[in-house]
Amino acid sequence: MADKKGKIHFFTGKGGVGKTTLSLAFAKARASRGEKTLLIEFSQLNSFSQLLDIETGFQPKKFKKNLDLASWDGEDCLQEFVKYSFKLRLIFETFYKSKAINALIKAAPALKEIAFLGYLTSHFRGVKPELDYDCIIVDAPSTGHFLSCLKVPQALLEISSIGPMGFHCRGIIETLKDSSLTEVHAVFQAEELILKEQAELVSELNLMGIKVTHWLNNVYPQELSLEILSSMESETKDPISSYLSEKAQIERAIIEDKNLKTNIINEIFENNFDSIAEQMSLNAYVQ
Amino acid sequence: MPMSNKTKVHFFLGQGGVGKTSLAALFSVNKAMQGEKVLIATFDPSLRLKDILQETERFQNEILNKNLSIRLLEPKKIFEDLIGELDQESAISIKKNKLFQKLLERINGVQEFSSLYFLNQSLKHGYNHIVIDTPPLQNALDFFESPGKLRDLFESQVVRIFTGTFKVKWFEKIFKKTRDLSLKTLQKLTGADFFNELIVFMTALDDLRPVILKTLNETEELFSDSSVKYNLVGLSDLGAVLKLKERVLLLKSKNIKIHHLFINKFIDWTDFSSKKEGLTSYINFKKKQQEVTKKIIDELMKLEDLKIFKINKQVFNKSEEQLIKTAKKIYGEN
């Protein structure tokens, strides 16, 4: 299990599967290994302030040793990038105060996404301003929004392959496709609709040439699973029993199929958050 | 038009994966079976709605055939229709614009606007009910705030300032200089190609301004009309119910009343038990969680005019007959 430093990890998946929880646990696991880690929330749900009772903004804020947190929305990334591009603060402020520019930034598609992806990958591309961390983890939006964001650089390249836009888009795409630099963690659970969406997500990422790691979340611990399966041998048709056994069966099938290379996170019975971080450290298919 | 003939509008809201589309579909089926004319519109291009309502074929049931219409909402097509109303030259230049072709849907508010535009057009057709299966929410207010953001953009005429068609008489020189400097800077940052596409794009949006504002004005009044019902859908686990409560209260604080709350894929652990030890502790854990969830739901029930449905976890059978039965079971005479 190679332990490479310097990487971007996106956590995505269908709504409600556990992206935020797992991205946080993953961040803790990395930080405790001594990696300088940044966990970024890039969805509008403001989970950090609720979950952790901490106010986060664009600037990284120290949360624990080796672990900083931030909340981004794209527009702030754009501002940062623009700010850096101006040598004189005065001109920057005039620019940003301009109503026309503001309107443009709000309405124009793609600028925010490119700024976000551009800033995220800046360190790896050697482009300033740089985001200097060993490990950058993104609690990303759910499947649909996430994929549509990742596709923006390519769409822009087709519009304008030369000049600054082309340069940034190419660099972003290269970084995303480099599996030693970018990894997408696709989180899912053992339920029909979720499995369907997971399959779509993985297939799209494969088409884009982006590395994917699978995380099956909320799995029944093995002993529980075996008990469910054995007690359901009698033909109990009540909805709960069928739900339990269906879930257990799907989970067993996924776990036992070594070709699928899925990391497993067991359901936790108390709010024992640290046990999730521990489970993540032990997982086989993460680099 | 007499009050009883007024079209009732039903919005189904919720995050991705909670069962919005399914519940909206079942609602529509139920009403259609009661003899009412129903139109259901969705953004969900996946086969899920098609699976459920067999969009590509006629229904076997004649009552459904007569009363139920399904539309897939595609923002690109809607905007192409809008462009069709402009003059030839503008229409061509917008259609050629690559930002428009590739990135229209990345603009904040486009999907929400599309559903409102569609709604506005459909209200003229005399349906008893129009059901809108909205795009998945990122946050509770998205659907309601996006039109406002679009409106701000168009009403402020900044687009015209930007494209230079707006004349500011007295301090024109200074204004022009600042604007030009800002624009030059933006051009330098993004490159000439992209910048040019952006200008054409912004001009195109400006051409669409009258019809966009008209739609926003006409539908804005609709939002607070009593003939519009908001249905919020969510899942039944503790985390999901907490989120639902938050959403209901947040919307309430903005004077948006949720009429029906659907707690979907509900599992009732109350009567469940097992002789096996390992399973028993799991079940007890689930029962404890259910008690907490129940308390939250009870609190919500105290809210005025909020009707809460607990929908049990079930498998959707693709048979039309099963569908009609399930629709009636959930919605009854509602």
> How close, in Å, is residue B16 to chain A by CA atoms?
5
pLDDT on residue A252: 93
Chain A residue with CA closest to B200: the answer is A108
Contacts of B278 in chain A (CB under 8 A): 223-224, 227
pLDDT on residue B162: 57
Contacts of A73 in chain B (CB under 8 A): none
Q: What is the mean pLDDT of residues B206-223?
A: 83
pLDDT on residue A237: 66
pLDDT at B160 over 80: no
Least confident of A101-110, B14-23, B290-299: A101-110
Q: What is the mean pLDDT of residues A158-173?
A: 89
B235 touches chain A (CB under 8 A): yes
Q: Which two tokens stand for residue A41?
A: 């929330």
**Residue from A193, A197, A241, A272 whose CB has the most chain B CBs within 10 Å, to mutate:** A193
Q: What is the mean pLDDT of residues B320-324?
A: 80
Selecting from B107, B267, B275 the residue whose C-beta is nearest the C-beta of A107 gives B107
Least confident of A265-274, B4-13, B20-29: A265-274
Tens digits of residue pLDDT in B292-308: 999 999 998 888 788 89
- Interface touch A152/B103, C-beta < 8 Å: yes
- Whether the CB-CB separation of A238 and A246 falls below 8 Å is answered with no
Comparing CA positions, the residue from B303, B220, B216 lying closest to residue B258 is B303
From chain B residues 20-59, the ones with a CB under 8 A of any chain A CB are none
CA separation for the pair A175, A169 (Å, rounded):
10
Query: In terms of pTM, does the model score above 0.95?
Result: no
> How close, in Å, is residue A27 to chain B by CA atoms?
21
Comparing CA positions, the residue from B205, B211, B214 lying closest to residue B94 is B205
**Residue from B110, B153, B158 whose CB has the most chain A CBs within 10 Å, to mutate:** B158
User: Running DSSP on this structure, what letter comes out for residue A187?
Assistant: E
Q: What is the mean pLDDT of residues B241-255?
A: 87
pLDDT at B89 over 90: no
CA separation for the pair A125, A204 (Å, rounded):
24
Selecting from A163, A194, A240 the residue whose C-beta is nearest the C-beta of B192 gives A163
Q: Which two tokens stand for residue A203?
A: 């297939």
pLDDT at A287 over 60: no
pLDDT at B225 over 60: yes
> How close, in Å, is residue B227 to chain A by CA atoms?
30
Residue that wins the pLDDT comparison between A178 and B64: A178
Strand B68-72's sheet: what is its strand order?
A: B68-72, B38-42, B129-133, B8-13, B228-235, B260-266, B307-312
Q: What is the pLDDT of chain B when averaged over all its residues?
A: 80
Non-local (6+) Cβ contacts of B192 within 8 A are A163
Tens digits of residue pLDDT in A44-68: 667 787 778 888 999 999 999 999 9
Calculate the CA dihedral of residues A167, A168, A169, A173 and round it to 10 degrees: 110
B279 touches chain A (CB under 8 A): yes
The pLDDT-based confidence of A145 (bands split at 50, 70, 90) is confident
Residue that wins the pLDDT comparison between B202 and A189: A189
- Interface touch B139/A44, C-beta < 8 Å: yes
